[in-house]
Structure 1
Amino acid sequence: MPARFRLTPPVAFAVVAATFVWFLAASSAPSPLYVVYQERFDFTEFTLTAVFAVYVLALIAALLVVGALSDHIGRRPVILAAIGLEIVALVLFLVAGGVGWLLAARIVQGVATGAATATLPATLVDLATKPGRAGLVNGTAPLTGLGLGGLACGALVEFAPAPTRLVWVLLLGGLLVAALLVALIPETIERRPGALASLRPRVGVPPRLRAGFSAVVPTLLASWSLSGLYLSLGPSVVTEVFGVRDHLVGGLVVAVLCLTGAVTGFLLRGRPPVRVLAPSAAVLAFGTLVTLAGVLSGLLLVATVGTVVAGVGFGAAAFATFGTLSTLAEPHERGELFAATYTLSYLAFSVPAMIAGLAATVAGLRPTALVYGGTIVAVGVVATVLGRRVAAPTGPEPVPAGSPTT
């Protein structure tokens, strides 16, 4: 396509950020619907978390295979392929008639989101024209998408007709628009050899980046494990533990955590991300502890306050981890670095949640939530202690070759 039809870097940055939000909104949309599907298709808590987990396993597989592909063939082709797969997944949700359809939809969605998740953050760093902007958006866009997806889907399930159909139609429409706009963004990577070799599954962080990467790991584990609990079992806990059957409230469980986190990340802009690592873990642990007090006492208000506090910690953790990572890598390293980061993140997101689903089927939701949350508190405390010892780069993001400087 002629260069005159390409979007300018600031407009392209906005398009990529919006696409990132939309992908994550689609990924959280099933959360308020799990209870509906569970009643309609008559399956257990373990099956529910299996539907949740196959998505994450497929996502991790995609990260391992295509995580570094955009470093070789370019960002735009990988993003467009991811959008195409996501459209297929949403069509499968639209026609779903049983658990098998849900599993298939979530697997395809996992592959699509994995490819997008490895590529969109790197593209944002490439297109950023101001220091710190990519780190801020990479920290807040996923949380915004997760929160809006859960909230909007919960509202549609509660108030709109055809709750298991309308949400997918709306998401499909947004993705079609995204595909048209992404086709117009400028390519930020020059093609280079090694594309086929890059498809060999592996997880790796370039040696020179490992010290900075290890600095974010404890906080990453605590925050993503918490989000896995909320997105997999959160609406079910609201229904069974607190006796609230309003689907909008189920969506609000996800939205309160994630949107509070997104606002927190935005308010922290300008702070050195590495200095936020320890405080974010401490707030996350405290908020989770308050939430557990609400679950133990059966008081929804206490659990809600705890969720808001945990959301502050969650958003601060996202800002700290992705902001720190955005300072580390050169353009040709970003795809691989973000792939490794999200592989670890989604393992923390999915494996504990699937174990919790099995435990909930055997022992019940309340004790499972208490043990799961208690473990997150412990990890958060460890992350707080380790975060205080971190010494990592806090300079501005490297400016991609050919990008305007400020």
Structure 2
Amino acid sequence: MSDTLPKSMRERRNGLSRAASLWLLGAILIAFSAAASAPTPLYALYRETWGFSPALLSVVFSIYAGGLLLTLLVCGSLSDHIGRRPVIAAALALEVLAMAVFLRAESVEALIVARLLQGCATGLATSVLGAALLDFDRERGPLLNSVTPMLGLALGALGSSALMQFSGEPLHRVFLVLLGIFALFALVLARLPESISRQPGAWASLRPRVRIPPQARRAFWRIAPLNASLWALGGFYLSLGPTLARQVTGLQAPLVGGTLVFLLTSCGALGIFAMRNSEAQVILRRGSLALVTGLLLTLIGVDCGLAWLFFLGTAVAGLGFGGGFLGALRSVVPLAHAHERGGLMAGFYVLSYLAFSLPAVAAGIATQHVGLVVTTNAYACVLLLAAVMVLLSGSRSNRSPAASVG
């Protein structure tokens, strides 16, 4: 549980129970993640329809991350001061507006505006929903914070590609569905109890900065290399993964790219469930090992043109993605007090989305000069190096107590 839930929450008679509140918060976070991955299978169709360059596609991808990061830096701690519900309501309103722009988009400029709005909405939602989940349950909060984005990314990519393949309106149907979902959540939100009391300093909290509590900084920077490599992997798959899948398999069906992203993220959710009862250090070690193994198998599959090995490697890397993400969260979030959680979650996701966006944009530019396969090899080698560094540092820290005793 959170340190001290406010009196207003305890006395709220017509509101949701704690269990129902957890379900609602988790469902909203899943929806935001699903909306984030929904455009991924559509990028190829957007390019065919509007005829813009791969470089402009990189702008579309990066503008989302840019809006998200800016919002996290400015508003990441706002909910620690004015409460969780007002910030969640603002995020839902922005996301509804973004879905409406997607529905009406008829040019790449409109697509850029929609992704920018969506990035700002997701930036607002990410830190406040993560903090609210911890408010209601400190034990299950880290688990829900790690598994719900994976499930959302999986459902968004697969659902969007399925609608794209079988729907008569591939560029609109998915956003109409998502708009209805977010509008429904906005209505239900009125029954969510407020989980913290208001604190002074709301205007001062808007000054852009990363707020990591002092007691959590050492753990935060220790898991930073692995966390960055995990999110860089996710960024690559959500930007260039569908194109790579079509090249390796030789199939042009939209479901191929959506299935690849679904495989990575659903295996991530599976890895979280499989390791949820282990200690943070054990999860980090196993996640790193699975990531290294999966990347090696994926590279062999890409270079040898073996589609089955490519997908197998993606599944194993997905297990590492989920396990490593859970281990990283469990290493840092219990160290923050109730009114520090919004800032900590914002800082955590600033690092995560920097790693998610910048390497993927660089990879998109590199493919125009050296090709997709060479770029994939170089990209994976950097991620392998980061994961191996974490494994080696974990081995040294495990041996250090014995050495000091001896």
Q: Structure 1 length normalisation: TM-score?
A: 0.93
Which residue of structure 2 lines up, in the alignment, with residue 315 of structure 1?
322
Which residue of structure 1 lines up, in the alignment, with residue 109 of structure 2?
100
Which residue of structure 2 lines up, in the alignment, with residue 267 of structure 1?
274
Counterpart of 2:51 (choices 11, 20, 42) is 42
Which stretches of structure 1, 4 residues or more, deviate above 3 A after TM superposition?
387-391
Which residue of structure 1 lines up, in the alignment, with residue 232 of structure 2?
225
SS of match in other structure, 1:34: helix
After superposition, the C-alpha distances for 1:117-173 in whole angstroms (9 at most, x for unaligned) are: 011010000011xx5311111110011100110011111111122011000010011
Which residues in structure 2 correspond to 1:46-195 (within 5 Å)? 46-128=55-137, 132-195=139-202
Which residue of structure 1 lines up, in the alignment, with residue 310 of structure 2?
303
Distance of aligned partners of 1:387 and 1:48 in 2 relative to their CA distance in 1, 3 Å threshold = farther
Amino acid corresponding to residue 100 of structure 1 in structure 2: E
CA shift for structure 1 position 388: 3.5
Identical positions, percent: 42
After superposition, the C-alpha distances for 1:183-235 in whole angstroms (9 at most, x for unaligned) are: 21110111111000000001131212111212221210110010011001001
Which residue of structure 2 lines up, in the alignment, with residue 19 of structure 1?
28
**Which 5+ residue runs of structure 1 have no aligned equivalent?**
392-406
Which residue of structure 2 lines up, in the alignment, with residue 250 of structure 1?
257
Which residues in structure 2 correspond to 1:351-362 (within 5 Å)? 351-362=358-369
SS of match in other structure, 2:277: coil
Which residue of structure 2 lines up, in the alignment, with residue 364 of structure 1?
371
Separation of aligned partners in 2, 1:338 and 1:221: 15
SS of match in other structure, 2:249: coil
Distance of aligned partners of 1:22 and 1:312 in 2 relative to their CA distance in 1, 3 Å threshold = same
Amino acid corresponding to residue 375 of structure 1 in structure 2: V
Separation of aligned partners in 1, 2:87 and 2:395: 38
After superposition, the C-alpha distances for 1:283-322 in whole angstroms (9 at most, x for unaligned) are: 1122011111111111111100100110110110111111
Amino acid corresponding to residue 191 of structure 1 in structure 2: R
Separation of aligned partners in 2, 1:179 and 1:208: 35
CA contact (8 A) 2:213 2:336 kept: no
CA shift for structure 1 position 241: 4.1
Separation of aligned partners in 2, 1:182 and 1:324: 30
Compare 381-390 and 218-227 and name the one that shifted more.
381-390
CA shift for structure 1 position 47: 1.8
SS of match in other structure, 2:171: helix
The answer to whether residue 348 in structure 2 is matched with residue 341 in structure 1 is yes
Which residue of structure 2 lines up, in the alignment, with residue 402 of structure 1?
none
After superposition, the C-alpha distances for 1:295-352 in whole angstroms (9 at most, x for unaligned) are: 1111111100100110110110111111222311111010000100000000000000
CA shift for structure 1 position 372: 1.0
Separation of aligned partners in 1, 2:222 and 2:394: 7
Counterpart of 2:299 (choices 292, 300, 313) is 292
Separation of aligned partners in 2, 1:177 and 1:325: 33
Separation of aligned partners in 2, 1:36 and 1:178: 30
Amino acid corresponding to residue 74 of structure 2 in structure 1: V
Separation of aligned partners in 2, 1:218 and 1:384: 11
Amino acid corresponding to residue 370 of structure 1 in structure 2: N
CA RMSD of aligned residues (A): 1.4
Amino acid corresponding to residue 158 of structure 1 in structure 2: Q
Compare 242-251 and 117-126 and name the one that shifted more.
242-251
After superposition, the C-alpha distances for 1:350-400 in whole angstroms (9 at most, x for unaligned) are: 000000111112222121112111211111111222234558xxxxxxxxx
Counterpart of 1:4 (choices 13, 19, 27) is 13
Q: Say how many residue pairs are matched.
A: 389
